[in-house]
Amino acid sequence: MRLLTLSALLVASVASADEGMWLFNDFPTAQAKQSVGVAPDAAWLDRVRLGSLRLANGCSASLVSADGLVMTNHHCIRGCLEDLSTPERDLLSTPFIAKDRAAEERCQKTEANQLVRITDVTERVLEATQGSSGADYQKKLKAEQARLESGCAQGDATKRCDVVTLFHGAKFHLYEYRRYQDVRLVFAPEFSMAAFGGDPDNFNFPRYGLDVAFLRLYVDGKPRPSPERLAWAKEPAKEKDPVFVSGHPGNTDRLLTVAQLEYQRDVALPYSIALLSELRGRLDEWLKAHPALGNVGRSRLRSVENSLKAQRGAQQALAEPSFFAKLVSAEVELKRKAPASTLAGWDSIAEATKALRGLALEYRLKERGDAFNSELFGHARALVRHRAEKAKPNAERLPEFTDARLPGLTQSLGSQVPVSKELEIATLSWSLQRLREALGADDAFVRSVLGSATPLEVATQLVEGTGLADAKRRLELLDEKAFDAATDPLLAFAKKVDADARAIRQKVEAQVDAPQKKGNELLAEARRTVLGPVGAPDATFTLRLSFGRVQGTATAPAMTTVEGLFTRATGKAPFALTEPWLKVKPSLKAAELKLPYNVSTTNDIIGGNSGSPLVNAKGDVVGLVFDGNLASLGGRYGYEPASNRAVAVHGELIQFALMRVYGAKHLAEELLRR
């Protein structure tokens, strides 16, 4: 990590060689060549970019056959498996193997995006916002982004266009995606094999996760021809092999100032960890008490546990004095060398952070929804805001309600996924209780929300009374007249709390985002002056490429084997093997037992990279990233080459599982077809 190694640049350029989630349109080919001996050229980069996909729910994926076959993680499509499950067919406990195209079933909530073009629009954005600051700057920025996005999408629902803010606002790129909304399930192993080792093994290595799933893109009811697909590698990846990860890291914070890092360590992370810890406990006990409703909540629990572990890892990294001291001394060093004109940047950010300390609680509760933990409330708020924003010119709307975002909104509102009213009442009443706890029973907002009722009464009345559990009804309410005529209690509730939510959002934009933005521009200038051309920008859930090698750590090997899986299995969840594995076991040959299972690599990744293809020097698939190790959780703030590792399912294991365990020879062959 650059900040960590300022005072030892030479060492750093060796030690942190594999750091960086690089932009495809600004890839450091020479550095990759020097570090791993491979120099991807423009054609290589284009091919891998087009073979990579983003799943709208926060995952990565890749095109792996000419017939639109898509590879991603099982944990990325667990929601779909739950939605397609019925009392008679539980797709979490049994594998799903479509024997042919007709048997492939649509994942209602899944959308895949392919990045077809990147355009640098920095000049246009800077021009449009020049000379402005504060709320004015935000308004102009939003307006220009909306103009650029609408101009790109042109109302075409098969396109998605996003202006991506890079380097905290030093650069702006326009990303144009092709959207695929008909995505069908092709193959998924049992949940217990995908997540073998469960929460205890999550973020650990050695590891035995078969966290793989296959989908297929459809257009007009037919598989989408995909000549740009990534080929399956002929040679399996071995220790020390150079490997690349092409995917969508969600978020890193490697350019934060010390004031911001302190805020993360002392306020933001402790808040989230406490929140998630309580939610985890509640969901787990709730599931025990409502086994019949289990599927709806289990995926939620899993995602909460995953976030919790990730945030705890990040907090622990910052709590480590030596790690934090390095970040502090890097800042001291940078400030010492920075042009005097840029020093105000740190003050500006400190000011923003101080303001945030005062606003964050209310912001999280009212605007970010911590007080309204309910899917139905989310729909209600979306409808209320859609109604209000649609009346404004496109450029003046909240960014999530511009015309360019309408297709996404429509899809989300139209989702056929059933809602558990019991779980909705449980989480909504809990979050209302937290609201009262956090702001106090005498707070005016709390009183307007609860009146003299209890949180449980309010939640029950809203959830039982609303018609928003019906997707058709929600879509109808996009219409102005239907909305205005509606008497839904949840819509009324969402309307009632909206002014306060918008007010705190505006405060945060004016008092936090604006000075932060201003500060970041000055810091970017300082970094450019002191460090020369900047490296990779912080992750933004947009496509990045990282290079590295297959490699273990001081305490863990580079790979595990099929044999290791059988040794580790205890017969009890989360270490229990499923029937197909127990059945195949006696027939396995020595060579098969030695096959690699999971693999650890030095690639710099983070949450959002789940489902990314692991490719070799040729750009061919050798594995499927599904996790990082514990040390990778500190990767949010910095990359530590000695310990930070990506964790992938080995390509050979995927072939083995399809052919030998699950009887899906046709899929194994489709992958190998050239």
Name the segment binding a second copy (CB under 8 A); options: 12-20, 43-51, 501-509, 566-574. 566-574
Binding map of a second copy across residues 221-250, x = CB under 8 A, - = no contact: ------------------------------
At residue 673, φ and ψ (nearest 5 deg) are -60, 135
How far apart are CB 439 and a second copy at their closest, in Å?
9
Q: Based on CB atoms, which residue is closest to a second copy, 155 or 270?
A: 270
Binding flag, residue 572, a second copy (CB under 8 A) = yes
Cα–Cα distance between 298 and 82 in angstroms, integer?
9
Footprint of a second copy on residues 423-442 (CB under 8 A)?
426, 433, 436-437, 440-442
How far apart are CB 415 and a second copy at their closest, in Å?
27
**In which residue are the tokens 């040959």 written?**
589
Take residue 385 and report the two structure tokens written for it.
């805001």
Take residue 348 and report the two structure tokens written for it.
């500006």
How far apart are CB 319 and a second copy at their closest, in Å?
4
Cα–Cα distance between 455 and 438 in angstroms, integer?
13
Cα–Cα distance between 529 and 532 in angstroms, integer?
6
Q: Based on CB atoms, which residue is closest to a second copy, 56 or 439?
A: 439
Q: Based on CB atoms, which residue is closest to a second copy, 130 or 452?
A: 452
Binding map of a second copy across residues 181-200, x = CB under 8 A, - = no contact: ----------------x-xx
Name the segment binding a second copy (CB under 8 A); options: 165-173, 184-192, 286-294, 515-523. 286-294
How far apart are CB 557 and a second copy at their closest, in Å?
12
Cα–Cα distance between 21 and 4 in angstroms, integer?
16
Q: Identify which of 143, 146, 510 has the alpha carbon closest to the alpha carbon of residue 502.
A: 510
Name the segment binding a second copy (CB under 8 A); options: 259-267, 503-511, 538-546, 642-650. 259-267
Binding flag, residue 206, a second copy (CB under 8 A) = yes
Please count the CA atoms within 13 angstroms of the CA of 447 that sit on its side-chain side. 4
3-state secondary structure 355-368: HHHHHHHHHHHHHC
Cα–Cα distance between 376 and 629 in angstroms, integer?
35
Name the segment binding a second copy (CB under 8 A); options: 318-326, 512-520, 528-536, 658-666. 318-326
How far apart are CB 295 and a second copy at their closest, in Å?
18
Q: Identify which of 153, 144, 148, 150 has the alpha carbon closest to the alpha carbon of residue 174.
A: 148
Please count the CA atoms within 13 angstroms of the CA of 52 that sit on its side-chain side. 33
Cα–Cα distance between 208 and 597 in angstroms, integer?
6
Binding map of a second copy across residues 371-410, x = CB under 8 A, - = no contact: ----------------------------------------
How far apart are CB 282 and a second copy at their closest, in Å?
4
Q: Identify which of 206, 223, 237, 188 has the alpha carbon closest to the alpha carbon of residue 72.
A: 188
How far apart are CB 552 and a second copy at their closest, in Å?
15
User: To 10 degrees, what angle do helices 375-390 and 489-508 make?
Assistant: 70
Q: What's the maximum distance between 2 C-alpha atoms anywhere in the chain?
A: 73
How far apart are CB 288 and a second copy at their closest, in Å?
7
Binding flag, residue 41, a second copy (CB under 8 A) = no
Q: Based on CB atoms, which residue is closest to a second copy, 106 or 436?
A: 436
Binding flag, residue 325, a second copy (CB under 8 A) = no
**In which residue are the tokens 């044999």 written?**
563
By CB under 8 A, name the one of 85, 94, 132, 454 that touches a second copy: 454
Take residue 404 and report the two structure tokens written for it.
């360019």
Footprint of a second copy on residues 488-507 (CB under 8 A)?
none
Binding flag, residue 291, a second copy (CB under 8 A) = no
Cα–Cα distance between 562 and 177 in angstroms, integer?
38
Binding map of a second copy across residues 296-315, x = CB under 8 A, - = no contact: ----------------x--x
Binding flag, residue 286, a second copy (CB under 8 A) = yes
Q: Based on CB atoms, which residue is closest to a second copy, 315 or 578?
A: 315
Binding flag, residue 571, a second copy (CB under 8 A) = yes
Sign of the CA dihedral 546, 548, 552, 555? Answer: negative
By CB under 8 A, name the one of 332, 499, 573, 582 that touches a second copy: 573
Task: Give how many residues touch a second copy by CB under 8 A.
Answer: 48
- Nearest 5°: the CA angle 227, 228, 233 is 100
Q: Please list, in sequence order, all residues whose beta carbon lies within 8 angstroms of the beta carbon of residue 536, skipping any fewer than 6 positions away.
A: 19, 20, 21, 22, 23, 544
Binding flag, residue 575, a second copy (CB under 8 A) = yes
Take residue 176 and report the two structure tokens written for it.
């144009």
Q: Based on CB atoms, which residue is closest to a second copy, 275 or 671?
A: 275
Q: What length does the chain have?
A: 674
How far apart are CB 302 and a second copy at their closest, in Å?
14
User: To 10 degrees, what angle do helices 514-531 and 344-362 make?
Assistant: 140
For the chain, counts of helices (H) and of strands (E)? 27, 19
Which residues sit at the interface with a second copy, rule CB under 8 A? 197, 199-201, 204, 206, 262, 265-267, 269-270, 273-275, 277-282, 284-286, 288-289, 312, 315, 318-319, 321, 426, 433, 436-437, 440-442, 451-454, 457, 570-573, 575
